[in-house]
Amino acid sequence: AQTVTQSQPEMSVQEAETVTLSCTYDTSESDYYLFWYKQPPSRQMILVIRQEAYKQQNATENRFSVNFQKAAKSFSLKISDSQLGDAAMYFCAYRSANTGNQFYFGTGTSLTVIP
Amino acid sequence: DVKVTQSSRYLVKRTGEKVFLECVQDMDHENMFWYRQDPGLGLRLIYFSYDVKMKEKGDIPEGYSVSREKKERFSLILESASTNQTSMYLCATLEDSSYNEQFFGPGTRLTVL
């Protein structure tokens, strides 16, 4: 099984500042997908951003961007201009492009946004 | 919008009871998943299904079974609930395209007394 590691159980950021959440993963495959999911308090998990491993360009979605370092097996999420609504649990996830539909999730990072 | 619904947000059961958690999706997705979410452990896959009547064990299937008689419905069954099955249970579907997005239900917080 693949392993996904999020080494920061909790993070905090001042409103309007930038924060980076870390994620590393272990795989021997070359073709895969990486995801960041957001789970707000008492609300459904939603996709924030995704990255295909074959793409060298880092994905961006408005204030959210990733730093994908394939050789280092690192996939960090940067949130710019943090807003109160960004407060949530964030999960990093991995899925192979070739071997089935199973997703592997990290243990999550709880992000607090300080007004 | 894809909708994934779960039968209960909160459920309290007694040890030894048989428990059914229901998940329904409205987007005709082939793949459906059941996860368990515990603090510090993230999401762990219990079972998934890639078609009607087809199922695969995930990482922690012990103590659980599943049923998928219709494409839109995927049920998780705790044959004899135990206190260590107290947890948040999340159902998800997988979009049948190269986009790979999973859609999650709101979750069922199960307490076993």
CB B8 within 8 A of CB B90: no
Q: What are the residue ranges in chain A where pLDDT is below 50?
A: none
**What integer pLDDT is reported at residue A98 of this predicted model?**
81
pLDDT computed for residue B99 by the predictor: 65
Chain A residues with CB-CB distance to B4 below 8 A: 44
Q: How far apart are CA A90 and CA A6, in angstroms?
A: 10
Residue A63 CB neighbours (<10 A): 13
Residue B71 structure tokens = 């494409």
Q: Which of B44, B50, B101 sits opposite A101 (nearest CB)?
A: B50
User: Across the interface, which of B40, B99, B105 has its CB nearest the CB of A44?
Assistant: B105
Burial classification of residue B80, based on how many CB atoms lie within 10 Å of its CB (0-12 exposed, 13-18 middle, 19 or more buried): exposed
Residue B63: count other Cβ atoms within 10 Å of its Cβ: 14
Please give the pLDDT value at position B104: 95
C-alpha of A61 from chain center: 12
Residues contacting residue B59 through CB under 8 Å, at least 6 positions apart? A1, B44, B45, B46
pLDDT in tens, B76-106: 999 999 999 999 999 999 987 766 789 999 9
Q: Given CA atoms A77, A51, A4, B5 in this order, what sign does their dihedral have?
A: positive
CA dist list (Å): A90 to A22, B8, B60, B68: 10, 24, 22, 30
Residue carrying structure tokens 């069922």: B108
The pLDDT assigned to A64 comes to 97
Determine the residue type at B51: D
Residues paired with residue A61 on neighbouring β-strands, in sequence order:
A64
Q: Tell me how many degrees the CA angle A3-B20-B17 measures, rounded to the nearest 5.
A: 105
pLDDT tens for residues B10-45? 999 999 999 999 999 998 899 999 999 999 899 999
A contacts of B48 (beta carbons < 8 Å): 101-102
Q: What is the pLDDT of residue B14?
A: 97
CB within 8 Å: B48 and A43: no
